[in-house]
Structure 1
């Protein structure tokens, strides 16, 4: 067998927000029985979603698809303010699984709005987190920018009364460039007290950067609609990996593209379970004489509590 070194990024895979969101669905099924409805994929990973579906979760895109007598859970990405308000109006039982780090950005946006500032959001149009965050404020109060070029096209109400926030799963390097452009054009713009990009996104990108000089190719395990996973591929390519590819699981690996590689890096996006990492490692072991090396750049011990409604007795119906 051909020798091959597999470099394993640490940290990788599940973050605390994803872990919490999955627990919320499992605990809701345990508390109220199946089916439990989930508005949008709880996290962006088919393997996780399929596993929860098997346990009794039903994934829908709209409250209208949820029967009024069954609980509904809002995904980890967050939802516009109008969604829980509508669930309240319909007297639905609901649990909000929004990641606490996304909720922090929502609170920040609301505070700036109450202080009379218009918001600029750095994010990806159409991503559920961006939709949820922009939906915290009235129409027109959040201006979206995706690139440095977008900054030049902004037409704020008052250039001296602006603040910015970011999607939590962006590329740290790309965002730094956009922030610099915002500050150059709007010197009085107010930024967050602490970086909006979450610790898990930052840590996973740092691990890829540390691994990149050692490897010929990088595989990122994650879903095509996972923003943080796609950013890991970009970071790998930008850090010098000749080949960087997103794969959902072992069956998606393009073995021909890896021919001649002697060192391959493996990481996983924040919504990819460790079981899929093990599956990919096993696939390499079936083809190569594998030596494993772990590249550790941080140790994570963050944990988020599930909402109280799931820790209380059966009489509780609101989160």
Structure 2
């Protein structure tokens, strides 16, 4: 049964300060992936096939589906076609582009360049006869893609500090580690510290694998969370970076921390009596959904909005080469 809300008027609405985190929302890799699908639709017309969700956000996926994108889990769901076939921002195992080549698909790789960086790191370690340890979440598309860059058995996935204690790498083989790009910065630091304590000679990435966008959004949440009564993270449940933002807010001392896709999903009973609300968005959540949440609160509260900024972002990734060349013609 819906929860009754008082018949607020402009004069008796309770005041609510909304602290909006910045940076928030789309990162450069997500913008590039979405633009790749839209550009392919503009150049070639529908359909455009996309393997897996281009990014983990239902609103974005449904918007692209209405424009003519067809999302599939695996390439064997795609009929023989000359239409573009796009790989999602999360990256794919090496077997996927090989399969696409065998079937003569026009494949476009929209993998985030920062994920591709992790793939190349793993390959370099393998060529140097190192066993690779991947810190990440089992089953996440990015992890599946990274593990799929190397032959079976060449890479070991660990998820927790406890996993480090039980890690049994090949005897006599040098170790190196890489990480998923969307992890909790603090959790990963603990796991890496445990790895280095147990394996002092383990080779680290030349540059941090957790991407700039993940780090910046978590830092903004850490700044805001202790100041507010509740925090809303706009994002999808299957979005790793969005889930980590919710966890960061919780650990920073925010009493109520919720991941919400749309305003219609708000459980208003959780926000009764609050005076300060924190608001952010995962890297795959569009700003229109943030505005939708603010509008929903403005119907029930006298809202005052303040932006809390912890970093400026100017990162830009160009479209995949095939689409750049077509756009230039």
- CA distance, structure 2, for counterparts of residue 235 and residue 111 of structure 1: 33
Instruction: Tell me if 1:31 matches 2:43.
Output: yes
How many residues are matched? 316
Q: Deviations over 1:181-202 (max 9, x none)?
A: 1011111100101110000000
Equivalent position of 1:288 in the other structure: 301
Equivalent position of 1:100 in the other structure: 113
Q: Which moved more, 1:81-90 or 1:194-203?
A: 81-90
Equivalent position of 1:310 in the other structure: 323
Secondary structure in 2 aligned to 1:312? helix
Q: Aligned to 1:219, which of 229, 232, 239?
A: 232
Q: Following superposition, which runs of at least 4 residues in structure 1 exceed 4 angstroms of deviation? A: none
Secondary structure in 1 aligned to 2:325? coil
Instruction: Tell me if 1:297 matches 2:310.
Output: yes
Name the Cα RMSD after superposition.
1.3
1:1-319 superposed matches below 5 A: 1-69=13-81, 70-158=83-171, 161-313=174-326
1:67 positional shift: 1.9
- CA distance, structure 2, for counterparts of residue 76 and residue 290 of structure 1: 36
1:145 positional shift: 0.3
Q: Deviations over 1:16-42 (max 9, x none)?
A: 000000000001111111011000000
Structure 1 gap ranges (5+): none
CA distance 1:306–1:52, change in 2 (3 Å):
same
Contact 1:213 1:241 survives alignment (8 Å): yes
1:153 positional shift: 1.1
- CA distance, structure 2, for counterparts of residue 124 and residue 294 of structure 1: 32
Structure 2 gap ranges (5+): 1-12
Q: So what's the TM-score if we normalise by structure 2?
A: 0.94
Contact 2:164 2:194 survives alignment (8 Å): yes
- CA distance, structure 2, for counterparts of residue 246 and residue 102 of structure 1: 24
- CA distance, structure 1, for counterparts of residue 43 and residue 80 of structure 2: 17
Q: So what's the TM-score if we normalise by structure 1?
A: 0.97
Contact 2:51 2:85 survives alignment (8 Å): yes
- CA distance, structure 2, for counterparts of residue 237 and residue 67 of structure 1: 46
Contact 2:131 2:173 survives alignment (8 Å): no
Q: Which moved more, 1:3-12 or 1:157-166?
A: 157-166
Contact 1:160 1:188 survives alignment (8 Å): no
1:160 positional shift: 5.1
